[in-house]
Structure 1
Amino acid sequence: MQLASQLQNDSLYIYDLELSQVRLIPDAENTWFLLIPRQENIIEWIDLDLGDQIQLTKEIDFVSRLVRDQTRPDKLNIASLGNLVPQLHIHIIARYKNDRAWPNPIWGTQSTQSFNHNLVQKWQDLFDQS
């Protein structure tokens, strides 16, 4: 799979699931994952065959539950926009009532805190154990 340059530059590799690569946006305030199906030329959900749509749904469920269990957010945001980066990618974001954008969308905001890069290994270990 050729990863879109913006996804490559803006996120950190965490894990490979059956269909998707899991990447972490280095945001100090919100746990923010991307699921990116490892297939070429997939722009829309409907570009996946039905079996892969079902697999992606299972992977969204798996990552969402892991994030919820580990971070206890007030709300999970799950979205696929793709207006700026057309390659299909699913955002899974832990949101909190006291985060920088609540209750508005997190898109276009920047964390003012430094990202702890030790979290990359923590999440890799959690995925390995799950």
Structure 2
Amino acid sequence: MFKLAGQLASDCIVLGDFQLCTLLLMNDAQYPWFILVPRREDATEIFQLSVADRSLLMEESCLLAEKLKDAFAADKMNIAALGNVVSQLHVHHVVRYRKDHAWPAPVWGKSPAVSYTPELLNERIGKLRAVLTNGFTFAESCP
């Protein structure tokens, strides 16, 4: 049975589900930073997914990246599946701006996370609600 890794659960806000993946928001207000987690038990690498799941992961990732780029007017989308700290398979989708704090370096470890204020959290999720209208179900607990 699938269970979200503890570190992801503590660092993120669960937003909802695509067909394959759960969508999380990293609780770091410095960047619009989203994470897709395929709901497959014990998956740590993309190649461990079935061919059908790999294809679905790519579709969901591309759809999310396109919607995020438009909704947040990104200069660049950083998409990565590292897993060095949390081994559970997850794919980061970070909206980047040439003027953000970490540019052009990766966001990891650049500065301590800044938790969302309720206002900024509602604004970020509102932008997401406006663009994720098909194939995604927001969690009941999502603000």
TM-score, with structure 2 as normaliser: 0.83
Partner of residue 51, structure 1: 52
Matches of 1:117 and 1:56, distance apart in 2: 26
Q: How does 1:75-86 map onto structure 2 within 5 Å? A: 75-86=76-87
CA contact (8 A) 2:79 2:93 kept: yes
- Shift, 1:35, TM fit: 0.2
Stretches of structure 2 that go unaligned for 5 or more consecutive residues are 135-143
Tell me the amino acid that sits aligned with residue 45 of structure 1.
Answer: I
Q: Select between 40-49 and 109-118 the one with higher mean Cα deviation.
A: 109-118
Partner of residue 23, structure 2: 22
SS at match of 2:92: strand
Tell me the amino acid that sits aligned with residue 16 of structure 2.
Answer: Y
Tell me the amino acid that sits aligned with residue 90 of structure 1.
Answer: V
- Shift, 1:15, TM fit: 1.5
SS at match of 1:68: helix
Cα 1:128–1:68 change in 2 (3 A) is closer
- Shift, 1:122, TM fit: 1.5
Q: Select between 10-19 and 101-110 the one with higher mean Cα deviation.
A: 101-110
SS at match of 1:27: coil
Tell me the amino acid that sits aligned with residue 103 of structure 2.
Answer: W
Alignment root-mean-square deviation, CA: 1.8
Tell me the amino acid that sits aligned with residue 117 of structure 1.
Answer: L
Matches of 1:74 and 1:46, distance apart in 2: 30
Tell me the amino acid that sits aligned with residue 93 of structure 1.
Answer: V
Tell me the amino acid that sits aligned with residue 5 of structure 1.
Answer: G
> Which structure is richer in relative contact order (CA contacts within 8 A, separation 6 or more)?
2
Partner of residue 129, structure 1: 133
- Shift, 1:27, TM fit: 2.2
Tell me the amino acid that sits aligned with residue 103 of structure 1.
Answer: P
- Shift, 1:29, TM fit: 2.4
Stretches of structure 1 that go unaligned for 5 or more consecutive residues are none
Partner of residue 38, structure 1: 39
CA contact (8 A) 1:100 1:111 kept: no
Q: Select between 108-117 and 83-92 the one with higher mean Cα deviation.
A: 108-117
Matches of 1:13 and 1:77, distance apart in 2: 20
Count residues in correspondence: 130
Matches of 2:98 and 2:18, distance apart in 1: 30
TM-score, with structure 1 as normaliser: 0.91
